[in-house]
Every structure is written in C-alpha cells, then in structure tokens.
Amino acid sequence: MALNIQFLENEIIDQYLYDEHLTRPWIIGFSGGKDSTMLLQVVWNALKRIEPALLTRQIYVVCNDTLVENPRIVKFINRTLKKIQEEANLNGFPILVAQTTPRLDDTFWVRLIGLGYPAPNRFYRWCTERLKINPTTKLITEKISENGAAILLLGTRSDESSNRAKSLKRFEIRGVRLRKHQLPNAHVYAPLKDVTTNELWQYLNQVPPPWGGSHKELVTLYRNANSGDCPLVIDTSTPSCGHSRFGCWTCTVVNKDKSMEGLIENGEEWMQPLADIRNFLIETRDNPEIWREKKRRNGDISENLWGPYKFETRVEILRRILLAQKEIRKTEGIDLITHQEMVLIQYHWFRDCFFKTKVSDIYNQIFKVQFDMSKQEEKFQQESELLKKSCTTEPKDVAFIQDLLALQKTKTLMIRKRGLQSDIENRLDQYIDELKEN
C-alpha cells in the first residue's frame, strides 16, 4: 500500500500527546461514511499504541442525525456507534459517542408542514444550518465552554473536491497541523487531508474496523447506493450536503437522489414511498401557483416571490408521510415523523388560524387509532384566539408573542428547558431591531 499508515498514526500520536493544551478535547466528526470511518479507525489504532496511563485527553465521537436521514443508513450508523462505544469501554479508551439532533422547532417537518417552508433548493437552502450546522455547533460550543478550547477532527481530504481543497488551504496555518475554525478557541485537524480516494478504499478493504465486524456492509452500501459521502457539516463551505451523498432522504436540492434510487434498484423496494414523497415535494416547490400562498408571511405580495405552503398542501404532505409511515412501520419498524413534531405542527397550524383539519384527525384516519391531542388542541386554540383579541390595536405583536410561546412549547415538548432564556432574549433583540427598522 503506497499510503504510509505508520506515518499517519505517528502524527496522530504526536498531536494527541504533545499538544500544549492537553485539556483540549478532541471531537471526531463521524458520519458513518468512508472518510470518517477511516479517520476514526486510524485514530483508534494510534490510541492503541499509547501507554494507557497517557490516554487522558477526552475524545468525543459526534454523529449528527437530521431526523430525516436515509433510514437504511440510520440503522447501519446506529449499530456502528453502539459497537464503537462498547469496544472503546472494553479498551479503556477515553471515547464517548455523542449524537446530536436539530432543535424541535427546527426539524425538517416542523418547518415544512408546521410553518409552510417550501422544500429547499439551491437558492433557498434553509435546512443545512438548522438540521446540520447548528446542532453540531451547539455541542462544540458546549465542549469549548467546559474546557476552554476544543480540536475538531475531520475526515476531510484534499482530493475530495476542489472546493474542499480550497477551504483546507484557506484555514491552514503553515507548517502546523491544526487550522483555525471560525468558532473562537476551536481548531480543526484533518489527518487524512493527503489521502487519495483509492488509498482510502484500499485501506478499508484491507484493515477491518477495530470496533469489530467488517467493512463489508459499508462497501456494499456505497456500491448499491452509487453515491458519495455526506460528511459532518460544520459550516456552509462543506459542499457535499445536498449533492451525491447519504444524506436526508427528503433532500430536494439535488434533482435526482442517486443514493435512494440505487438502494431501491438493489432490493430496498420498501423505500419507494419515500422516493414518491420526495418527488411530491419537488412538485410542490416547482409549481408554486398550485401549492403556495401568494402572500408572504410579512404580508407582501409580489410578482415572482411566493409565500408559505397553503394549508391544503401542508395537510397533503402530512397525509402522505403518515401513509408511508404506516406501510414502512410494518416491515422496517421505522417512524418518519415523531409525535413531538406533530404536536408542534398542530400548534403552528392554530397559530396560522388553521382550524379546519387537525393533525390528530389525519393521524387517526390513517392509523385507525386515537392519537389524543384534544387537551393540547383546546389550549392552543384558546390561546390563539385570546391573543388575537388582546392585540387588536397592535396586530404585529401577535406574531412576536406567538414566536415566544412556540419557543416555550418546544422546550416543554422536549422536556428540557435549557436554553429557553437565551432563546427568548435573542427573539426579543430581533423584535426590537425589527421595530427600529420600521
């Protein structure tokens, strides 16, 4: 093998042991794809060569779940993460697996069905930040505030794409392994930056994962999905998101989802309903005159700019998702949308004065069971009506107060209240700025 693995491991050992701030944790971005798998494997094998007493630096293996990941890949990644944690514990490695997810009010379905955001395209890619960048940034920021600084290890390689090569160059500090990250006190370390794709596959084909099993499933997934990686996205310069990748099954940024098509062609026919929903989302986005409001949320009406999805469109999307969920649950045991998301969607529907059809009506009709949201529904409806009556002189305040209530509802549904105060303060600042502008 032309690739000098010994040299790569030596570099990692050197960085792990001799870095001047030994308390800086390492955060390894793990997507389950080929690049981050090789990265974790090389780091793991390097750790094995370090005296156990010197393994004092904490390592987090971070994997982000957008909640609309390809379900086939989610199963594979979850199994892998479990093996990683178990084997790390057995080896006494200071490794902790952490999974991040978007905030409830930022999930794909709450934004799309609850608030009527149109399915994303290249020009309005509202999802990447909410589903990928923010959850990971939150975790990195927490680790920085706990430890003063953190180092982010990524499987980024120069030959992956010219954009990424440029981004590697831009932040590189000459002669130093680490480059600055845009977050204060965060640095990025990309040990695989000079590894070519051929070398990477050779390595994965020859060296089994140290956490057990083989790379057979990973190789088969790549072959069947006819697709590339979706790495851990840490900023908007990461080009793979939305292109050829194992990413969100709902992604409408690409015209064709080669990975899903590939998997269906290779025997995963149960994914067809998902592909149909994705095609329907493209239809709703590309034909705004049928599926979207003329008026935007701020009240503007203009020639070429469309407002949110009509209520009927949101109902239809939810109906299709639940129908697919019913089918898939039987064979795969997978849910496409959570109950918490549905409760928040209902809240947004009341907020937008949609009283005709309720989320629970659609759910109960499809599943023939009682998804009882009556208490929440009654409360949301009364709240919405009362608020409108109280703000007749200042209707603008209604939207603002509703935003604050939505934040509070999100935190209640998530059980955790952490961050509520700062979220409310941020929204207040935003509102004051809006008032000043007008």
Report the interface residues with ligand SF4, using CB under 6 A: 66, 120, 125, 127-128, 131-132, 241-242, 247-248, 250-251, 253
Distance in angstroms (rounded) separating the CA atoms of residues 221 and 241: 18
- Tokens 């599943």 — which residue? 367
Give me the least distance between CB of 119 and ligand SF4, in Å please: 8
| Residue placing its CB nearer to ligand SF4 in the complex, 126 or 311 | 126
| Residue placing its CB nearer to ligand SF4 in the complex, 95 or 241 | 241
DSSP 185-217: TEEEE-TTTT--HHHHHHHHHHS--TTSS-SHH
Helix or strand holding residue 100 (H, E): strand 95-100
Give me the least distance between CB of 286 and ligand SF4, in Å please: 16
Give me the least distance between CB of 32 and ligand SF4, in Å please: 14
The Cβ of residue 210 has, within 10 Å, a number of other Cβ atoms equal to: 19
CA 250 to each of CA 127, 221, 231: distance values in angstroms, whole numbers, following the listed order: 11, 19, 17
Q: Which residues contact 101 (CB under 8 A, 6 or more apart)?
A: 64, 65, 66, 67, 135
| Residue placing its CB nearer to ligand SF4 in the complex, 229 or 377 | 229
**What tokens were used for 213?**
């099993």
Distance in angstroms (rounded) separating the CA atoms of residues 43 and 390: 60
Give me the least distance between CB of 254 and ligand SF4, in Å please: 7
Give me the least distance between CB of 120 and ligand SF4, in Å please: 5
Distance in angstroms (rounded) separating the CA atoms of residues 410 and 345: 11
| Residue placing its CB nearer to ligand SF4 in the complex, 28 or 127 | 127
Helix or strand holding residue 10 (H, E): helix 5-18
Q: Which residues contact 357 (CB under 8 A, 6 or more apart)?
A: 311, 315
| Residue placing its CB nearer to ligand SF4 in the complex, 27 or 68 | 68
CB of 83 closer than 8 Å to CB of 212 = yes
| Residue placing its CB nearer to ligand SF4 in the complex, 58 or 161 | 161
Give me the least distance between CB of 177 and ligand SF4, in Å please: 29
| Residue placing its CB nearer to ligand SF4 in the complex, 178 or 317 | 317
Give me the least distance between CB of 68 and ligand SF4, in Å please: 7
